[in-house]
């Protein structure tokens, strides 16, 4: 059992955090709520047992549905595959007929009852921010993979009561308390709110703070005496303050950072909370810690950008099939631009650390051949079948809308500043778009771009056509010139005698050196290497896996060799001509002698 150091204030403060009002969907009040009780009789077996009392509304049969995906993570995950032993009965215990009606639906005969009890088990052992985990120490439940609901989708309240396993002291969620006032009892105004509100049960360490009168808390599960709780909470608070400075308001009444220290990674945005995962050792490693803070910042930024200001396609949701949008470059990409930027503006990362992070995004974009194949708007549309289902050829065929979208954010921000002589920025575009499109309607493709043109006082249609809807290379020059930045000349490859390079990604598996990726346009691609080839020798001299890089260093660019490989047990010789590793020429740095105007613009951007 993991023991956590829990500050004395934690319980009282979480109570305050949870007391705020719900979303108040008025039509939800007219229908009887569904109410769930979740039990963990044997948490070490990773099961949650759910009992749902479902109103029938006079119907002879009802249909129950398990979501197939969860918003913010665009992949059909078939959550119903973890559901078992679905049974139904009247409230006085008479069994009712249950039949499967599709892969994720169950039809229940109601036999004249006005409410029925439906019970089932959910296997909870997938450690990610969009799935469930249950073990002896804690439960992490997401709404979509946990709660069967009525398939009619009429808005109604969904109540949840958690019966904690022995030793679990708290249940933490952004949901408000249920009207029954019992501990561990919550009310979601509707199913969307339930799906949007992850639930943690266990004995977490909670650090509460208030910014501009709005309560927030960092809730750590699994600190284990390793994670630096108070210091990390102080940094999270600085990020919250910085984002409030950018937007001028909070889009929620209270906010929870649910931070799982479980040796996994990721973050998923919700309306008034986020679920995060990292290693409990993260606070002890500066680089990892800054990346975690970048994720914290990213997910918080989503409270404005995607949870409120969103593409029209992203809500209300059909939880059983995909929804498509070309605008993830905006909601994910611009959020990826602002995530580390807010960490820097909050005074946590240095200017060099911020520029390094941005340089990493640019380098990833510029060394991914798929940027020349698929426009970022199309990559967004195809998120369900490409970004979330990558394979060994993904770098050759598509580009991440996170990466390219973040770089577009950098360039668009500079463009707006230049067009307005430094009076306006991307901040102003987001705020104007929020004022116009947050809420029920959402924005349609092109509408966010139109707001950017208005703020710039320029028609940016052609600029967006190139950046978003074409595979043309992005033009960095105007942004570099505006801020007085340059890409650093690469020190290493400027040296004499550049070492041989094939451009293959390799991995070692059971002592064998295997080709893991072949990028288009590299010498390895030209020579005909395949993913899965085992590399055995160069020019008939054995190369052991650990000697591969060193051996390449003994050849030079332009040398021609025969590489012996094994492909499905057959030996094959591939003629290859070594190339030269492309210079790492995407590292941003300030120019040696910036003008006063450039210095001022860089400060205005980063301070
Ligand atoms: Zn995101």
Please state, in angstroms and rounded to a whole number, the distance separating the CA atoms of residues 351 and 568: 50
Asked whether the predicted pLDDT for residue 17 surpasses 80, the reply is no
What six digits make up the tokens of 163?
């019966």
Averaged over 562-581, what is the pLDDT?
96
d(CA 238, CA 249) in angstroms, rounded, equals 15
| C-alpha of 574 from chain center | 41
Distance 168 CA to ligand 1 centre (A): 31
Whether the predicted pLDDT of 197 surpasses 70: yes
What's the pLDDT at 24? 44
Distance, CA 47 to ligand 1 centroid (Å)? 29
pLDDT attached to residue 417: 98
Q: Is the pLDDT of residue 605 over 60?
A: yes
Is the pLDDT confidence value at 21 over 70? no
Q: Mean pLDDT across the stretch 65-75?
A: 97
Residues 270 and 173 sit within 8 Å (Cβ to Cβ): no
Q: Is the pLDDT of residue 26 over 70?
A: no
For residue 428, the CA-to-ligand 1 centroid distance in Å is 20
Please report which confidence band the pLDDT of residue 448 belongs to, taking 50, 70 and 90 as the band edges.
very high
- Report the pLDDT value the prediction gives residue 490, as an integer from 0 to 100: 67
- CA–centroid distance, residue 216 to ligand 1 (Å): 20
Ligand 1: centre distance to CA 299 (Å): 6
> 334 alpha carbon to ligand 1 midpoint, in Å?
9
pLDDT at 29: 54
Question: What separation in Å is there between the alpha carbon of 85 and the centre of ligand 1?
Answer: 35
Instruction: Using the predicted structure, report yes or no on whether residue 594 has a pLDDT greater than 80.
Output: yes
Q: Is the pLDDT of residue 2 over 80?
A: no
Q: What is the pLDDT of residues 87-134, one digit of tens each?
A: 999 999 999 999 999 999 999 999 999 999 999 999 999 999 999 999
Three-class secondary structure of residue 169 per DSSP: coil
The rounded distance, in Å, linking the Cα atoms of 260 and 138 is: 10
Predicted confidence (pLDDT) at residue 4 exceeds the cutoff of 70: no
pLDDT band at residue 25 using 50, 70 and 90 as cut-offs: very low
Distance (angstroms) between ligand 1 centre and the Cα of 332 equals 5
For the chain, the straight-line distance linking the first and the last C-alpha, in angstroms and rounded, comes to 44
Per-residue pLDDT of 147-182, as tens digits, reads: 999 998 789 999 999 999 999 999 999 999 999 999
In angstroms, what is the span from residue 268 Cα to ligand 1's centroid? 7
pLDDT of 570 strictly over 60: yes
Q: What is the pLDDT of residues 464-497, one digit of tens each?
A: 999 999 999 999 999 999 999 999 986 554 445 5
Percent residues over pLDDT 70 in the chain: 94
* pLDDT-based confidence at residue 440 (cuts at 50, 70, 90): confident
Q: Confirm if 163 and 37 have CB atoms less than 8 A apart.
A: yes
**CA 295 to ligand 1 centroid distance, Å:** 8
Residue 15's pLDDT band, with cuts at 50, 70 and 90, is very low
User: Which pLDDT does position 28 carry in this prediction?
Assistant: 47
Interval between CA 335 and ligand 1 midpoint (Å): 6
pLDDT for the residue numbered 410: 98
pLDDT of residue 23: 44
CB-based contact 482:420 (threshold 8 Å): no
CB 13 within 8 A of CB 217: yes
Predicted pLDDT at 489: 82
Taking the centre of ligand 1 as the mean of its atom positions, its distance from the CA of residue 328, in whole angstroms, is 9
User: Is residue 452's pLDDT more than 80?
Assistant: yes
229 pLDDT band, cuts 50/70/90, is very high
Distance CA 203, CA 460 (A): 52
Q: Predicted confidence band at 16 (pLDDT cuts at 50, 70, 90)?
A: very low
Cα of 298 vs centre of ligand 1, distance in Å, is: 6
Compute, in angstroms, the gap from residue 336 CA to the centroid of ligand 1.
Answer: 7
If you measure from the C-alpha of residue 445 to the centroid of ligand 1, how many angstroms do you get, rounded to a whole number?
19
Interatomic CA distance for residues 210 and 216, integer angstroms: 6
Domains identified in the chain and CATH numbers:
10-205 (2.60.40.3650), 304-489 (1.10.390.10), 500-580 (2.30.42.10)
Distance in Å, CA 456 to ligand 1 centroid: 26
Rounded mean pLDDT, 385-410? 97
Cα-to-centroid distance, 305 and ligand 1 (Å): 9
What pLDDT is stored for residue 548 in this prediction? Answer: 95
Ligand 1 centroid vs 333 CA: distance in angstroms? 8
pLDDT at 143 (0 to 100): 98
Ligand 1 centre to CA of 320 (Å) is 21
Q: pLDDT value at position 439?
A: 85
How far, in Å, are 158, 179, 302, 343, 357 from residue 340 at the CA level?
A: 36, 40, 13, 5, 8
- Looking at residue 492, its pLDDT comes to 52
Considering the chain, what percentage of its residues have pLDDT values greater than 90? 91
Q: Ligand 1: distance of its center to the CA of 212 in Å? A: 25
Closest-CA residue to 558 (of 523, 506, 519): 523
Q: What is the pLDDT of residues 297-309, one digit of tens each?
A: 999 999 999 999 9
What string of H, E and C letters represents the secondary structure of 292-309? HHHHHHHHHHCCCECCCE
| Mean of the per-residue pLDDT values of the chain | 94
**Between 497 and 376, where is the model more confident?**
376
Distance 429 CA to ligand 1 centre (A): 19
Q: How close is the Cα of 279 to the center of ligand 1, in Å?
A: 19
Protein residues near ligand 1, an ion, with CB under 5 A: 332
């Amino acid at each position: 059992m993991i023991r956590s150091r829990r500050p004395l204030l934690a319980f009282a403060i979480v109570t305050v955090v949870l007391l705020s009002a719900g979303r108040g969907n008025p039509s939800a009040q007219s229908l009887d709520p569904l109410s769930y009780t979740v039990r963990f009789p044997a948490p070490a077996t990773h099961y949650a047992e759910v009992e749902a009392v479902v109103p029938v509304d006079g119907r002879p049969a009802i249909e129950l549905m398990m979501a197939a995906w969860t918003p913010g993570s665009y992949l059909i995950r078939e959550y119903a595959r973890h559901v078992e032993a679905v049974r139904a009965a009247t409230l006085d215990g008479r069994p009712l007929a249950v039949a499967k009606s599709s892969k994720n639906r169950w039809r229940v005969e109601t036999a004249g009852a006005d409410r029925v009890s439906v019970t089932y088990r959910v296997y909870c052992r997938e450690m990610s921010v969009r799935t469930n985990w249950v073990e002896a120490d804690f439960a992490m439940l997401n709404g979509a993979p946990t709660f069967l609901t009525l398939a009619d989708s009429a808005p109604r309240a969904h109540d949840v009561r958690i019966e904690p396993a022995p030793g679990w002291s708290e249940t933490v969620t952004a949901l408000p308390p249920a009207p029954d006032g019992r501990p561990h009892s919550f009310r979601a105004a509707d199913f969307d709110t339930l799906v949007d509100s992850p639930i943690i049960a266990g004995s977490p360490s909670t650090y509460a703070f208030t910014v501009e009168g709005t309560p927030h808390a960092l809730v750590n599960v699994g600190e284990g005496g390793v994670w630096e709780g108070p210091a990390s909470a102080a940094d999270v608070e600085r990020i919250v303050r910085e984002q409030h400075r950018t937007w001028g308001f909070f889009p929620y009444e209270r906010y929870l950072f649910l931070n799982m220290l479980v040796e996994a990674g990721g973050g998923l945005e919700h309306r008034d909370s986020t679920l995060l995962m990292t290693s409990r050792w993260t606070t002890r490693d500066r680089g990892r810690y800054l990346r975690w803070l970048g994720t914290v910042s990213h997910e918080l930024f989503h409270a404005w950008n995607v949870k409120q200001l969103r593409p029209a396609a992203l809500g209300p949701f059909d939880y059983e099939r995909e929804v498509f949008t070309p605008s993830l470059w905006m909601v994910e990409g611009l959020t990826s631009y602002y995530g580390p930027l807010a960490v820097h503006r909050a005074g946590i990362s240095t200017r060099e650390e911020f520029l390094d992070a941005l340089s990493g995004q640019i380098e990833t974009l510029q060394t991914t051949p798929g940027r020349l194949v698929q426009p970022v708007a199309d990559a967004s549309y195809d998120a369900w079948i490409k970004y979330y289902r990558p394979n060994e050829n993904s770098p050759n065929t598509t580009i991440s809308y996170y990466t390219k979208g973040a770089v577009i954010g950098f360039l668009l921000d500079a463009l707006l500043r230049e067009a307005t002589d430094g009076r306006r920025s991307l901040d102003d575009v987001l705020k104007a778009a929020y004022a116009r499109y947050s809420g029920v309607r959402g924005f349609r493709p092109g509408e966010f771009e139109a707001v950017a043109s208005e703020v710039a006082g320029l028609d940016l249609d052609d600029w967006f056509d190139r950046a978003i809807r074409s595979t043309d290379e992005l033009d960095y020059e105007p942004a570099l010139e505006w801020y007085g930045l340059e890409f650093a000349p690469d020190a290493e490859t400027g040296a004499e005698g550049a070492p041989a390079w094939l451009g293959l990604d390799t991995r070692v598996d059971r002592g064998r050196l295997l080709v893991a990726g072949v990028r288009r346009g590299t010498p390895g691609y030209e020579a005909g290497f395949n993913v899965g080839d085992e590399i055995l020798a160069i020019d008939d001299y054995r190369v052991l896996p650990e000697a591969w890089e060193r051996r390449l260093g003994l050849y030079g660019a332009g040398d021609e060799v025969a590489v012996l490989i094994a492909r499905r047990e057959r030996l094959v010789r591939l003629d290859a001509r070594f190339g030269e590793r492309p210079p790492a020429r995407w590292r941003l740095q300030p120019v040696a002698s910036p003008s006063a105007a450039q210095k001022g613009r860089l400060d205005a951007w980063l301070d």
